[in-house]
Amino acid sequence: MAQAKPLAAYSSYKYFNVTSPSPYVAHVEINRPEKLNAFHEAMWLEMKRVFDQLSVDPEVRAIVLSGAGERAFSAGLDVVAASEGSILNNKDGLDGARTATKLRRHIAEFQDSISAIEKCEKPVICVLHGISIGLSIDISCCADVRICAKDTRFAVKEVDIGLAADIGTLARLPKVVGSFSWVKDVALSARDFGAAEALQVGFVSQVCDNKAAALAAAFEKAAFIASKSPVAVQGTKELLNHSRDHSVAENLRYTGVWNSAMLQTQDVAAALLSGMQKRKPTFEKL
């Protein structure tokens, strides 16, 4: 595989490396390996900016998300930074209602930052390895495809730090795996589970021997997706996410409205013609 190219438009980010391993593919790497890629506030706010930018970048059609270093995708929330923050200490002496309002706004901002992955118009493939706990589950649940190395150690860890997970795991994980019994098992106990169990319940779709192999599989998959019509790919992500959260009838109606606009693309003719001519189609940027 050719050396990934840095993307100049993303060079200002401090906690995320953004490169391109192949045309129309972006690789987003969480870059705090000395702290096991644990998140503090500046990181999740920056993550939102990264994915908001990628969402509308016509040079990007598929995204791979991973963590730097060999030890962890992410150890989750940086609990030391969180415990020192004024948001939990109520140093202002506010009453209960005002404290609750401040916390609610803070949580909503945090949720929105992680949800930027799900809201990103481009498909996101998450590559997990090593320690992948707490916020790692929130983040990966927002991705469209999850691949992991066989050494990955997962946990919905929030109960062990005295709170109910509030950044998306409890909302998304039951819909990702389709088993409330298993979700309650891992969420209530905060127990570890490994790659084999994650594959068995459908949390990941592929397990690779190590991080390098998982990244290679993700890059190959992302490049293949990026070769497709971006109108078709981005529409498919939008409609599948809508289907998850709505009834069949609602989704059919939404799909009809969506495609009444998007079927006017030249991509349909280009794809059909290339199939008949047995050649690889090319598609305009979106």
What is the tens place of the pLDDT at every residue in 175-191? 999 899 999 999 999 99
Do 221 and 196 fall into the same domain? yes
36 within domain boundaries: yes
**Is residue 125 domain-shared with residue 19, that is, in the same domain?**
yes
| Residue-level pLDDT at 234 | 98
Per the listing, tokens 């996101």 go with 124
DSSP, res 4: P
Q: Is residue 93 situated within a structural domain?
A: yes
Region 243-269: mean pLDDT is 96
Q: What is the pLDDT of residues 15-67, one digit of tens each?
A: 999 999 999 999 999 999 999 999 999 999 999 999 999 999 999 999 999 99
Confidence label for 3 from pLDDT (cuts 50, 70 and 90): confident
- pLDDT for res 81: 82
Q: Round to whole Å and give the CA distance between 165 and 157.
A: 8
Same domain, 260 and 201: no
- Name the band, by pLDDT with cuts 50, 70 and 90, for residue 88: low
What CATH number is given to the structural domain containing 270? 1.10.12.10
Q: Taking the model in full, what pTM does it have?
A: 0.94
Q: Note whether 132 and 244 are same-domain residues.
A: no
Q: Say if 63 falls within a structural domain.
A: yes
155 bridge partner residues: 133
What DSSP string runs through 126-178?
Answer: EEE-BEEETHHHHHHHHSSEEEEETT-EEE--GGGGTS---SSHHHHHHHHH-
Pair (235, 180) in one structural domain: no
Task: Indicate the number of domains in the chain.
Answer: 2
Task: Please check whether residue 285 lies inside any domain of the structure.
Answer: no
Question: Tell me: the pLDDT tens digits for 195-249?
Answer: 999 999 999 999 999 999 999 999 999 999 999 999 999 999 999 999 999 999 9
pLDDT at 86: 58
Q: Tell me, yes or no, whether 121 lies in a domain.
A: yes
| One domain, residues 197 and 88 | yes
Does 109 share its domain with 65? yes
Q: Is residue 286 part of a domain?
A: no
In this structure, of 86-95, 115-124, 149-158, 261-270, the range with the lowest mean pLDDT score is: 86-95
Orientation of helix 230-245 relative to helix 267-277, angle to 10°:
120
Would 79 be classed as within a structural domain? yes
8-state DSSP, 2 = P
Last residue of a domain, one of 209, 226, 243: 226
Residue with the bigger pLDDT between 278 and 257: it is 257
Do 248 and 188 reside in the same domain of the chain? no
Whether 168 is covered by a domain: the verdict is yes
Q: What number is the average pLDDT over the span 247-253?
A: 98
CB 69 within 8 A of CB 36: yes
DSSP character at residue 271: H
> 262 with 140, same domain?
no
User: Which CATH number do you get for residue 12?
Assistant: 3.90.226.10
> Has residue 79 got a pLDDT over 90?
no
Give the amino acid at 9. Answer: A
Sign of the torsion formed by the C-alpha atoms of 75, 78, 80 and 82: negative
Segments forming the whole domain that contains residue 173? 5-226
